[in-house]
A and B are shown apart, each in its own frame.
Chain A
């Protein structure tokens, strides 16, 4: 028991160090001269790796019961639906030039202008 906890403590310290390095990396990447989209993608990737380390090791999610994974899967589905619905509605209203998904604008028949 005690030996297993000692091993875990070592693991926690390594993860902590990795998170510190990840933070420095996040700031360093932000200084790079890249396009906005590339910068956002890199920032999200680093943040996802860091949060996976926190959830996996500090929150013990790597060795958790099945029901926790089921709850989190359901949460992920609801979050994706919530965010997706908002973004799709935004895209629909903004049209081709400003839409997130670059949806082509609907062609309005010229005759409609006279009514």
Chain B
């Protein structure tokens, strides 16, 4: 009795948009993410300009650890795009290598962030300490949640999700492409967060 219903345009491009559905969906999602982080960055500007004093990030935050994290996240963006390129070359083994490295970079990012947070907690630098610390924890915390979300998706695509390669290679390649779009966006947000929070002077 069960009928096989095929969802259209998850591999082929729709004639009107020129895109497969997931790609359009992820770009729309990223548009909403731009609004979310845009609101937080404008909050930062508003709070900073309205405050009589503002802490210098490089004096109370560990900018060297944050710089290492920037390298880690940029490196993960490179390995992510290389994993997609490996599938384009029909090389599943290389895909697994690069995707594995991407997940490892995500773990490294979170471990470093954990070390940073632990040091702040130890010194009593909590969100209620100052407006700067509040916005620091809000922005880096939300970004960290995005990293965790991306790692769950990437981990699934590396593990059980990769079975799709055997039956629907094009669809699987598309999945890696859209997962990559999200991961690069997370990297992109950090590119702005790093100088804003860790390097700008205080007043």
Contact = CB atoms under 8 A, between A and B. Distances in A.
Interface of A: 1-2, 5-6, 8-9, 12-13, 15-16, 19-20, 23, 26-27, 30, 36, 39-40, 43-44, 46-47, 50-51, 54-55, 58-59, 65-68, 71-72, 74-75, 78-79, 82-83, 86-87, 90, 94, 98, 100
B148 to A, nearest CB: 20
B201 A27 contact: no
Interface of B: 17-19, 24, 27-28, 31, 34-35, 38-39, 41-43, 45-46, 49-50, 58, 63, 67, 70-71, 74-75, 77-78, 80-82, 85, 88-89, 180-181, 184-185, 187-188, 191-192, 194-196, 199-201, 203
B17 A65 contact: yes
A90 B203 contact: no
Given A39-B201, A83-B42, A58 B35 contact: no
A114 B125 CA distance: 49
Contacts of A5: 85, 88-89
Given A8-B85, A26-B199, A65-B19, A79 B34 contact: yes
B191 A83 contact: no
A78 B78 CA distance: 30
Contact of B180 (A2, A23, A30, A58): A58
Classify the secondary structure of B's interface with A.
Answer: helix
Given A5-B85, A82-B35, A13 B78 contact: yes
A25 B188 CA distance: 17
Contacts of A8: 85
A2 B196 CA distance: 40
Contacts of A39: 200-201
A79 B41 CA distance: 11
A23 B70 contact: yes
A30 B57 CA distance: 11
B182 to A, nearest CB: 10
B97 to A, nearest CB: 14
Contacts of B42: 82-83, 86-87
Nearest to A100: B49
Contact of A90 (B35, B46, B71, B185): B46
16 contacts: A5-B89, A12-B78, A12-B85, A20-B71, A43-B196, A43-B199, A47-B194, A51-B191, A55-B188, A65-B19, A67-B19, A74-B31, A82-B38, A83-B41, A83-B45, A86-B46
